[in-house]
Amino acid sequence: MAAANELNPTARFLMGPGPSDVHPRVLQAMATPMIGHLDPQFIVIMDELKQMLRELFRTRNELTFAVSATASAGMETCFVNLLEPGDEAVVCVNGVFGNRMSDIVGRCGAKLTRVDAPWGQPIDPAALKKALDGRRPKLVAVVHAETSTGLCQPLEEISRLAHEAGALFLVDAVTSLGGMDVRTDEWGIDAIYSGTQKCISAPPGLSPVSFSPRAVQAMESRKAANKVQSWYLDLGLLRTYWQGAKRAYHHTAPVSMIYGLHEALRIIFEEGLEARFERHRRNHELLRAGLEELGFEFVVAPEYRLPMLNAVRIPEPLEDAPVRKRLLEEYNIEIGAGLGEFAGKVWRIGLMGCSCTPNHVNMLLAALRQIQQDR
**Binding of a second copy at residue 30 (CB under 8 A)?**
yes
> Which amino acid is located at 43 in the chain?
I
Q: Which is nearer to a second copy, 190 or 334 (CB)?
A: 334
**Binding of a second copy at residue 223 (CB under 8 A)?**
no
Q: Which is nearer to a second copy, 137 or 336 (CB)?
A: 336
**Least spacing, CB of residue 289 vs a second copy, in Å:** 26
Interface size with a second copy, residues (CB under 8 A): 84
**Binding of a second copy at residue 238 (CB under 8 A)?**
no
Whether 332 contacts 12, CB under 8 Å: yes
**Binding of a second copy at residue 27 (CB under 8 A)?**
yes
The SS3 of residue 312 is strand
- Backbone dihedral angles phi then psi of residue 305, each to the nearest 5 degrees: -80, 135
**Binding of a second copy at residue 288 (CB under 8 A)?**
no
Alpha carbon of residue 251 to chain centroid: 24
**Least spacing, CB of residue 183 vs a second copy, in Å:** 16
**Binding of a second copy at residue 257 (CB under 8 A)?**
yes
**Binding of a second copy at residue 14 (CB under 8 A)?**
yes
Interface pick for a second copy out of 62, 72, 113, 243 (rule CB under 8 A): 72
**Binding of a second copy at residue 242 (CB under 8 A)?**
no
- Backbone dihedral angles phi then psi of residue 21, each to the nearest 5 degrees: -60, 145
Interface pick for a second copy out of 151, 219, 253, 287 (rule CB under 8 A): 253
Q: Minimal CA–CA distance to 277: which of 350, 210, 356?
A: 356
Site for a second copy in 77-106 (CB under 8 A): 100, 103-104, 106
Cβ neighbours of residue 351 closer than 8 Å, sequence gap 6 or more? 15, 280, 283, 284, 287, 307, 308, 309, 310, 360, 361
Reply yes or no: is the peptide bond before residue 19 cis, omega within 30 of 0. Answer: yes
**Binding of a second copy at residue 259 (CB under 8 A)?**
yes
Q: Which is nearer to a second copy, 7 or 220 (CB)?
A: 7
Cα 312 from Cα 317, distance rounded (Å): 14
